[in-house]
Structure 1
Amino acid sequence: MSEHFDAIVLGAGGAGLMCAATAGQRGRRVLVIDHADAPGKKILISGGGRCNFTNLGVAPDRYLSRNPHFMKSALGRYTAKDFLALVDRYAIAWHEKTLGQLFCDGSARQIVAMLLDQCDAGAVTLRVSAPITDVVHSDGRYRVTHGGRVAEAPALVIATGGPSIPKMGASGFAYDLARRFGLKVVEPRPALVPLTLPGEEALFRDLSGVSAPVIARCGKAAFAEAALFTHRGLSGPAILQISSYWYPGQPIGIDFLPGHGADWLVAMKREKPRMSLRQLLGGVLPDRLAAALAGRLTLEGGLADQKDRALADAGRQLSDWRFVPNGSEGFAKAEVTVGGIDTAGLSSKTMEARKVPGLYGVGEAVDVTGWLGGYNFQWAWASGWAAGQAL
């Protein structure tokens, strides 16, 4: 025997909980189903356990999507300030880190507790440890078999995220379900993920643990943050950011001299002619990195011993040092996923499928991916809210 609801939300992450709370508080009878044993698991591990819950710099150009305009409506109607007002209403202490990133002073558990309280205010029914075994659509209703029960509703929201961090139960379930109902899927790939380097870059692997401020570039994208050398390749905020724009075979350009420029070495020859390249780089870079770069450039002696052309060439290389990654650390280490349910098949205002009435896609399940730093959570809140307003 089926239970009847106005809407069924698949997934108790940020987007799913926000959607359910919004619809529930509008008087809709909402059921949220998740196979995990507790809601909001990805929220709990985010930001080192303090949840980077939004960013003051949210703007559409800080998101990747096949349709760069799709996210404008939802982000414009439910803003970072709107979510921050909700956080303040619950007296959750927060602080701003670099680049507009907002974190809880205490624990990410406070954000999950807030969302669950919002769901309670809307009389939302939440079921966890309830694996979904079947979803069918007929006679204008969706029937979901889960944990031995059957629920049905005229509306179904796909909020199960993407395949990033599979050890937490993430999978491609959202894409399989979308395809079953005739929606197209933009091929998913890992994003905000460390990149790996081939064997010929072994010298840089010896720098594992060394971090430095750089500008990382790929195509037209560039990020000025820290890069971290690992035993497998490159990581750190600048690399995670640029990884979302990287495709196999493309080079990554690293500017090891941000703020100095390619002509810096020639200028320093006039000021400090007796200084060696190794010593000069040691003044602006970590010692091990300075030694490795100077060793690769093989300019022996002091700066005065070098021709201007050689120093200019070295400066250009240091300002755009090319690495060609041989891959990434994959979905296992990716914070999010680029790709997902094709936005061409969804309404940007309501998140509803254009050709499948009552079917919605929100959050990471959709082909909208934000930068590192709270942008993806803001998309979860905004897209969830937009769907919740429409249910």
Structure 2
Amino acid sequence: MGIGATSRMTETFDAIILGAGGAGLMCAAIAGQRGRRVLVIDHANAPGKKILISGGGRCNFTNLGTAPDRYISMNPHFVKSALGRYGAQDFLALVERYGIAWHEKTLGQLFCDGSARQIVDMLLSECDRGEVELRVAAPISDVAHGDGQYRVTHGGRVAQAPALVIATGGPSIPKMGASGFAYDLARQFGLKVVEPRPALVPLTLSGEEALFRDLAGVSAPVVARCGKASFAEAALFTHRGLSGPAILQVSSYWYPGQPIGIDFLPRAPEDWLIAAKRERPRATVQQLLAAQLPDRLAGALAERLALTGGLADQKDRALVEAGQRLSDWRFVPNGSEGFAKAEVTVGGIDTAGLSSKTMEARKVPGLYAIGEAVDVTGWLGGYNFQWAWASGWAAGQAL
């Protein structure tokens, strides 16, 4: 095929964005409204699929407590520029401009009153304002670069542009079509990738700790710790191990072999069992625990503490040790439930190779990476969406 024939078949744009998720749509809308001719390509049959299933279908679209220290990255300073220029209040203003009713659930988490579909429709409307062209059900078969142009072959068509944005996310939730495509593409262009691992994911237990499987379905408010990270939320016992918000949070900080510490009675004073021994000498440890925890959990903990009889029968030292164990009960997970159950990914395209202001690759002009594809992972509770909006906005302003 001659050069002339190829050029006639190749469509030209100012920017091509790979991925029609939160970050990609935000970036496209901003760039389109700035007068850029933008094409968004996604292999899925509809845009915003991950948005639609988030927050139980109501989309936890941001968090009022958004701050750089609530993100995990090899470079913890990388997020500051984008989050500083496009914050939670900026996205909330957009939501309110569209008349989308919302509510704050807990800990600054904002949800739609209605449906996550409203957020997707809002982003698509913003893209329409920018005359963005969206192509779904268009698998990408090749990405090449030459003569200052990125050429993307997709669904039997070829498009080219001087700017290419990687917004295809990470490998979490593969049933939604997620994959490591972003990392393969980054490596193709010489960018480094921080080893990805599942984050915001349930942890699994084995051996002696597997006895806690009898508690499947039981939850309690706790403080969960891993290393220096600590979260006061609910923990849930499952037939495979541990889940619930507190566990999902610490899972992002957990590495194989590390223990997880759980404080089952975070409000109890240090020597509460000694005080209880004076006030209720005939009470058992199980009875005291059952007054503060679900019965099945109280029974399981008391059984493992092995303090039989009433408090009066126990030595003070044994009660102090029991109190210490209850405030820092150690579990050593044997793994996690993997990318299949992970909400997001820790790791990704190394931020060292990107501009924190524009998201452009430092050594590859015109190549950008945003959203979950990048080595930036937020806490549970709307932080990852806020990163999608902020990084998408930053790149959209630069295209």
Q: TM-score, normalised by structure 2?
A: 0.98
RMSD: 0.5
Select the residue among 363, 370, 374 that pairs with 1:366.
374
Q: Distance in 2 between matches of 1:2 and 1:343?
A: 32
Q: Which amino acid aligns with 1:298?
A: A
Q: Distance in 1 between matches of 2:225 and 2:329?
A: 10
Select the residue among 49, 57, 71 that pairs with 1:49.
57
Q: How far apart are 1:305 and its partner, in Å?
A: 1.1
Matches within 5 A, 1:1-391: 1-391=9-399
State whether residues 131 and 147 of structure 1, in contact with CA within 8 Å, keep that contact through their aligned partners in structure 2: yes
Q: Distance in 2 between matches of 1:262 and 1:238?
A: 22
Q: Distance in 1 between matches of 2:366 and 2:297?
A: 56
Q: Residue deviations 1:74-132, cap 9 Å, x none?
A: 00000000000000000000000010000000000000000000000000000000000
Q: Distance in 2 between matches of 1:209 and 1:168?
A: 26
State whether residues 261 and 315 of structure 1, in contact with CA within 8 Å, keep that contact through their aligned partners in structure 2: no
Q: How far apart are 1:273 and its partner, in Å?
A: 1.2
Q: Distance in 1 between matches of 2:112 and 2:229?
A: 29
Question: SS where residue 206 of structure 1 aligns?
Answer: helix
State whether residues 155 and 359 of structure 1, in contact with CA within 8 Å, keep that contact through their aligned partners in structure 2: yes
Question: SS where residue 120 of structure 2 aligns?
Answer: helix
Match of 2:3 in 1: none
Query: Where has structure 1 moved over 3 Å in runs of 4 or more?
Result: none
Q: Which amino acid aligns with 2:35?
A: G
Q: How far apart are 1:200 and its partner, in Å?
A: 1.6
Q: Distance in 1 between matches of 2:74 and 2:204?
A: 26
Question: SS where residue 43 of structure 2 aligns?
Answer: coil
Q: Distance in 1 between matches of 2:55 and 2:278?
A: 46
Q: How far apart are 1:355 and its partner, in Å?
A: 0.0
Q: Distance in 2 between matches of 1:219 and 1:286?
A: 27
Q: Distance in 1 between matches of 2:323 and 2:179?
A: 45
Q: Residue deviations 1:272-327, cap 9 Å, x none?
A: 11110010000000000000000000111111111110000000000000000000
Q: Which amino acid aligns with 1:321?
A: W
Q: Which amino acid aligns with 1:388?
A: G
Q: Distance in 2 between matches of 1:255 and 1:77?
A: 38
Q: Distance in 2 between matches of 1:271 and 1:64?
A: 46
Q: Distance in 1 between matches of 2:309 and 2:336?
A: 38
Q: Residue deviations 1:332-388, cap 9 Å, x none?
A: 000000000000000000000000000000000000000000000000000000000
Q: Which amino acid aligns with 2:149?
A: R
Identity percentage of aligned residues: 86
Question: SS where residue 255 of structure 2 aligns?
Answer: coil
Q: How far apart are 1:202 and its partner, in Å?
A: 2.4
Query: How many residues get paired?
Result: 391
Q: Distance in 1 between matches of 2:339 and 2:298?
A: 32
Range with bigger deviation, 55-64 or 199-208: 199-208
Q: How far apart are 1:265 and its partner, in Å?
A: 1.0
Structure 1 regions of 5+ residues with no counterpart? none
Q: How far apart are 1:146 and its partner, in Å?
A: 0.2
Question: SS where residue 339 of structure 1 aligns?
Answer: strand
Q: Distance in 1 between matches of 2:274 and 2:72?
A: 39
Q: Which amino acid aligns with 1:349?
A: K
State whether residues 237 and 372 of structure 1, in contact with CA within 8 Å, keep that contact through their aligned partners in structure 2: yes
Q: TM-score, normalised by structure 1?
A: 1.00
Question: SS where residue 40 of structure 2 aligns?
Answer: strand
Q: Which amino acid aligns with 1:113?
A: D
Q: Which amino acid aligns with 1:143?
A: R
Question: SS where residue 358 of structure 2 aligns?
Answer: coil
